[in-house]
A and B are shown apart, each in its own frame.
Chain A
Amino acid sequence: MIKRQLLLAFLVGAMCLPLYAYSHPQGDSLKTGFSHLRLTGALSLAAVGEQVNTCLPYTGLGGGASLAFTRCRRNYLNVENSFTAGGLMPYDMPEYNNVVTFYYNNFQAEYLWRLRKLNPLGIDFFTGPGVNFRYAIRMNYSNLSNSVLSYDMSVGLGISLRLAKEFSLHSICKKANPDKNWMVSLGMLYPVVGSAITPSYIGMPENLLQPDGSMLDMGNSTSGFLTRIINPEIHAELKYVMRNGNAFAVNYRFSYASLRADLNPVKSSYGITGLSLLFNLKKTPR
C-alpha cells in the first residue's frame, strides 16, 4: 500500500516537473499572447432525463480528463476534447439502488476575435464561431432485456463568447506579487444550428438480428435551429500563470442539452469541475 502511494506521488511529481523545467523568461498574458497545452483532471456531476427505457431521472458522479490546445494572440483559438465517465442512480429513490454507467465525450473548437473597443473595464472580450460534437452512452443493467443501451449524440455550430481579465492579488495582500499573474475568464458556446441522434422508437436498431448487427442506430436524427437542439455550454476558470509561462487553473464547465427529437428526446446536464496543468508552448524570444 505504501509502495503504491509512493509510486503515485512520484508520478504526480514527474507530471508537474515540466511546469518548471520548460522555462520561459517572462510570464505570458492576454496582451503578449500565450499558447498552452492543457491537461485537466475533473470530477463531474451528471443528470439525465430520457424516455427510451426509463421514465426516471438519473443523477450521479463521475471522473474524467480533458486535453486542450489554446492559443491567444490577436485572436483566440481553443480546441478541446473532454471525457468523463461514472455511475448514475435514480434521483431521490433510495429503495431502487440501480446503477447506470455513463460515458460522455465533448469535443469543441472555437476561433474568436478580440473586440478591443469593448474594453473600457479592463476586460478582454472575444467572440466568434464555435463548434461542438458531443456523445453520451449509458448502460442500464437492471432487468431491461435488450434495452440496456441508450445514447445521444449531437453536433452544433454556434456563437462563442469569452471574457477574460487579468489581475494581481497585490491590491488585497501587499505581500503578493504586483504582476498581474492571475486570470479569470468566463465563456459560453451557444449552438444556433444543430443536429442530434437519439435511439429509435423502441431503442433497438433495425439490424440487431444481423450476424454483424450493431447496438447503435444512426437512423433517428433530428436537426433544427435554436429551440430544437438546445445545447449550450458555459465555463469559468481561475488561472495562475507562473513566470515561465506555465500555469495552474481551476475551472468549472456546465454543459446542458435538450435534444427535442421526435423519438426519445433527451435532457442532460454535466457540471464538470477540473484542475488543469497548462504547459507553455510559446517559443522563447531570442
Chain B
Amino acid sequence: MTNIITAIVFAVLILISGSCRKSFIEKPPATKKDVFEYMWKTLDERYTFFALKNIDWDSVHTVYSPKITNDMSDKAFFDTLSLMIDVLRDGHSGINSFFDEHKNVNFFFNSPENFNERLLTDTYFKGYGNRTGAFYHAAICDGKVGYIYYGSFSYGFTDADFEYILQLYSDADGLIIDVRNNFGGQVNNVYKIACHFTQTRVAVLGSRLKSGPGHHELTGITTTWLEPSGSYWNKPVCVLTNRKTYSAGSIFSIVMQELPNVTVVGDSTGGGLGLPIGSELPNGWQMHYAGSMILSPAGICHELGVPPDIETDMDPVAEENGIDSIIEKACDVILGR
C-alpha cells in the first residue's frame, strides 16, 4: 500500500514539474507580420524621443504595415524594418539579423567633416605623437599648449595615465582635449577625465528613464554629481567637438561645459543622449533604441546635438595648407590671441 502511495506521489511530482515548465516554454508567434507588430509596439512603448523629434509613430505603422507580407524574403523584410527604424533619426537605433546589421548614422550626414587625421600626424604630432593609455598627445604652439586626442570612450585608461599627461603639460598655458570623431563608449571614462577640472562637487547631468508605455511616461529627473578627484588642472581647457562626437562624446561635452575654465570649440555634437537598450524579436533578431533621456543640469535635452561655446568649422583653405583651424581657434582661446 505504502509503495503505491509513494509511486503516486512521485508521479504527481513529475507531472507538476513538467506542466509548470510547459506553461511558459512556448515559442512566440514569429511570422513576419508578428515580428513587425512586436517591433513596432516595443518601440512605441519604450522609445524616448517621439515628442522631442515630433514623430507620428502611428502613421509609421500605417505606412509600413502594408509593406510587410509573410512570404516576402528575409532580406526584403530586414530592409523594410531598417527603413522603419530609421524614422527615429537616432544613432542609437538599429537592427541586427542573422545575416546583416543596420545602424542609423544619419546624425552626421550633410554636415562638414571638421576633422582631418592627417593634419594631426603631419602638422601637430609630427608622427603619431606620444601615446599614454588611450591618449595621443603632444605639446603644440611652441610648447605653450598641451594637446590630447581621445578617439573613443570605449578605450580604457588608468588614473595614472591621465595624471601623467597633466603633469607632463603642467608648464603649458592650457590644455586641448580633442574628442572629434569620438562615437562614445563608457560613460565612466567621461568622469575619469572631468574630475580633474573642478575643485568642488558639481551637478553635471540629469537623466530620465521610460517608466511606462505612454510616449510621455518618464521617471523624474535624477541628477548626476561630479566629485573632484586627483590633481586639479586650474588653467584654461578647450574641448573640440564635431558632428561625429556622439553618445558618451556628447555627454562629455555637456559635463565639461559645466566646469570652470572650460570652453567647447567646433561644431555641435551628433547627440545620442538616450542610453541605448535592446530587445530580442520573436524571430531571434535584435534591435536597439534609446530608452532614456540625458539632460543638461538646466534640464535641456540636446539629443539633436550639443552646441559648442564657440562654433567654428574647419577652413578648407587652411586645411589645404596643413592647418587645423579648429585647433588653432582653441589655441587662440587659451593663449588669449
B101 CB within 8 Å of chain A: yes
A234–B2 Cα gap in the complex (Å)? 20
A-B residue pair count with CB separations less than 8 angstroms: 147
Q: Which residues of B contact A200 (CB under 8 A)?
A: 209, 211
A47–B21 Cα gap in the complex (Å)? 7
B141 CB within 8 Å of chain A: no
> Which residues from 14 to 40 on chain B have a C-beta closer than 8 Å to any C-beta of chain A?
16-17, 20-21, 23-28, 38
A: interface residue count bin: 35 or more
> Which residues from 90 to 123 on chain A have a C-beta closer than 8 Å to any C-beta of chain B?
90-93, 95-96, 98, 121-123
Contact A47 B24, beta carbon cutoff 8 Å:
yes
Q: Which residues of A contact B281 (CB under 8 A)?
A: 55
A211-B188, A211-B227, A236-B13 as given contacts; A144 in contact with B98, CB under 8 Å: no
B302 CB within 8 Å of chain A: no
> Which residues from 15 to 74 on chain A have a C-beta closer than 8 Å to any C-beta of chain B?
47, 49, 53-57, 59
Contact B38 A211, beta carbon cutoff 8 Å:
no
Given B5, B92, B275, B292, which contacts A121 in the complex, CB threshold below 8 Å?
B5
Contact B278 A186, beta carbon cutoff 8 Å:
no
A91–B282 Cα gap in the complex (Å)? 11
Contact A271 B17, beta carbon cutoff 8 Å:
yes
* Selected interface stretch from B55-63, B110-118, B159-167, B283-291: B283-291
Interface of A, secondary structure class, is loop
Contact B280 A236, beta carbon cutoff 8 Å:
no
Q: Which residues of A contact B279 (CB under 8 A)?
A: 53-55, 144, 147
Q: Which residues of A contact B284 (CB under 8 A)?
A: 56, 90, 93, 95-96, 98
A145 CB within 8 Å of chain B: yes
* Selected interface stretch from A5-13, A201-209, A240-248, A277-285: A201-209
Contact B280 A144, beta carbon cutoff 8 Å:
yes
Contact B277 A234, beta carbon cutoff 8 Å:
no
Which chain A residue lies CB-closest to B103? A143
A98-B284, A236-B10 as given contacts; A202 in contact with B277, CB under 8 Å: yes
Can you spell out 21 A-B residue pairs with CB atoms less than 8 angstroms apart?
A55-B281, A121-B1, A123-B5, A140-B280, A142-B278, A143-B286, A145-B288, A200-B209, A201-B211, A202-B46, A202-B210, A203-B277, A206-B209, A208-B207, A210-B224, A210-B225, A211-B224, A234-B16, A236-B13, A254-B13, A267-B23
List 11 extra interface pairs beyond A55-B279, A96-B284, A204-B275, CB under 8 A.
A56-B282, A121-B5, A144-B278, A144-B286, A146-B275, A146-B278, A163-B9, A200-B209, A202-B277, A234-B13, A258-B24
Using a CB–CB distance below 8 Å, which chain B residues touch chain A?
Answer: 1-2, 5-6, 9-10, 13, 16-17, 20-21, 23-28, 38, 46, 92, 96, 98, 101, 187-188, 191, 205, 207, 209-212, 219, 222, 224-227, 275-282, 284, 286, 288, 291-292, 294
